[in-house]
Structures are given as structure tokens and as C-alpha cells.
Amino acid sequence: MEVKITTLSENSATGGCLGEWGLSMLVEVSDKKILFDTGAGAAAMQNAQLLGVDLAGIDAIVLSHGHHDHTGGLRDVLRRVVRQVDVIAHPDVWGRKYGSFGGGPKRFNGIPFVREGLESLGANFQLSTGAVRLAENVTTTGEIPMVTDYEIVEKYLYVRDGKEFKQDLLVDDLALVIDTEFGLVVITGCAHRGIVNTLKQARKAAGKDLIYAAIGGTHLVHASPERLERTSADLGEMGVQYLGVSHCTGFKASARLAERFGERFFLNNSGTKLELPFKERQS
């Protein structure tokens, strides 16, 4: 089995692609084309055109959570698809999400569209708290339990209930899990509920322990030194073979993880094209 991953939106870019604060990856496996997140705006569509990727042929869209930087390109993608397409997410993806960034005022940070408008463009929302199977060997994690004692959801993220703001525990945060003969490939959006917690749930969802590759956001950009060290150690102990980080990982965390994983670490930017298993593993 071969897994192809093309990153269409990410903070940094290669090969003339557009970078933006967001994330979107096209995952191709078992004759299925799954768009995982849609970025913050124009990048996914523009980069798809530049890279020769036709998003009209996607079979499903998976939203890792309801923040605008992962859903802002959804309307443009639906306009390109021009037919009904399943959009898989957690019910809380439609929460009224806010963030207080850098100690500033609370600003809306949720899906920047009205649900009915997206449905009129062909979005068929499939909302579930549990794992959703997209193919025989592809599933979402469903809700991710907070298992570790050091991973937290940042307190500057809120959900609005009427006039009241409460901490958003990001229960809608999920990942995509691909079960292959060479191990699990786990695609993450932000891993707001912790990258280690996410990978533990991915194992549970697939019923397999070996993680070949974890690719995507890790939300370690604001992690304390202790959390970063414990995360790095746990990823090593879990036997993660390859780690490709994106988006909300941050420079310091990326440098520390690169130090631990060595040649098995890579930055997953806009324009990155991956074919798994890597040739090094096949030799």
C-alpha cells in the first residue's frame, strides 16, 4: 500500500507555493482522495493549481477542528468540487470559538461561514463524536481523551455560550489514521489535546501500536520546557518512526524534536509531497 500526502497550506512554503497561517493536506490512499483541513483562505486552492492537484476529485473532507485557520478555505474548495461531498467532523466544530492572542481582546476564531451556505454548495456534514471510517484502512480518531498528566489545552482559547465565555477544551479536535502494512500514518491538524494523547488514541482507533509516521501540527509553540522534554521522550518511547511537523509546532519545539529524531524528522511545509513508505525504509 502506498500513501501520498500533498501539503497545500502551511505557514512556510517551498517551490513557489503560497504560505499562510493554516494547514491543509491532500491524502491519497486506497483509491480515496481525502482533503484533511482546508487552510485559512486562498492558499489551498492556489497551491493545488500550482502543484497540478485537482480538488474536484476529492472523495471526502475531514476537519480536524473548528478553527478558522483549518476551515477558512472550505467554501472555495466546495465551489471547486461542484457536487455533494461528505465533510467529516465533530459536532463541536460549529462552536462559537474565540481566542485571546497575546493577551489581547477575545476575537472570533471559528468557522468563518454559515453552515447553510456551505450546505448549499454541496457540503454534507457528517458529525460524530466517535471514530468515522472513510475506507477499510482509514479512520478518524474520534474524541481524544486527555491521558497524559502534562499535556494541556491552552487557556487563551474560548467558546462563547450566550454572553459567557468559557475555556474551549477543543473536544472537537481529531486526527486521521491510516492503517498500513508498514505501520500507522497519523495526520494531525493542531493536536490541541496533545500530540501524545492524539497518537495514543490513534493506536486505539486502529487497534495497532506501530506508528510509522506522525505528520502535521503538534501545538508545541507555547509548550513549557518540561512539556517539550516529556513530549519528546514519549514520542521516542512510543516508537514513532518518522515525525513531520507543521503549522503550530514552533521553532524551539521543531529544533528539539529534530535533535531527537535526526534524519527521521522533517518540516512539512506547503508544497511538500510525500510518498510513504519512504524509500529508505524499503531498502
- Whether 279 is in a domain gets the answer no
* pLDDT at position 5: 98
Predicted confidence band at 283 (pLDDT cuts at 50, 70, 90)? very low
* pLDDT at position 101: 86
Domain that holds residue 173: 3-272
- Whether 75 is in a domain gets the answer yes
| pLDDT > 50? residue 281 | no
Domains: count for the chain: 1
* pLDDT at position 187: 98
Predicted confidence band at 252 (pLDDT cuts at 50, 70, 90)? very high
What are phi and psi for residue 159, nearest 5 degrees?
-130, 135
pLDDT tens digit sequence for 241-250: 999 999 999 9
- Whether 283 is in a domain gets the answer no
Q: What is the mean pLDDT of residues 210-216?
A: 98
d(CA 248, CA 100): 16
pLDDT tens digit sequence for 119-153: 999 999 999 999 999 999 999 999 999 999 999 99
Q: What is the dihedral of CA 22, 20, 8, 181, to 10 degrees?
A: -40
3-state class (DSSP) for residue 280 = helix
- Whether 282 is in a domain gets the answer no
DSSP string, 200-251: HHHHHHHT---EEEEEEE---TT--HHHHHHHHHHHHHTT--EEEEETTS-H
pLDDT tens digit sequence for 264-279: 999 999 999 999 999 8
- Whether 281 is in a domain gets the answer no
pLDDT tens digit sequence for 53-74: 999 999 999 999 999 999 999 9
* pLDDT at position 280: 61
Most confident of 12-16, 100-104, 266-270: 266-270
* pLDDT at position 102: 82
What residues pair up with 248 in beta bridges, in sequence order? none
End-to-end CA distance of the chain: 16
- Whether 278 is in a domain gets the answer no
**What CATH number did the domain enclosing 136 receive?**
3.60.15.10
| pLDDT > 90? residue 282 | no
Mean of all residue pLDDT scores within the chain: 96
- Whether 141 is in a domain gets the answer yes
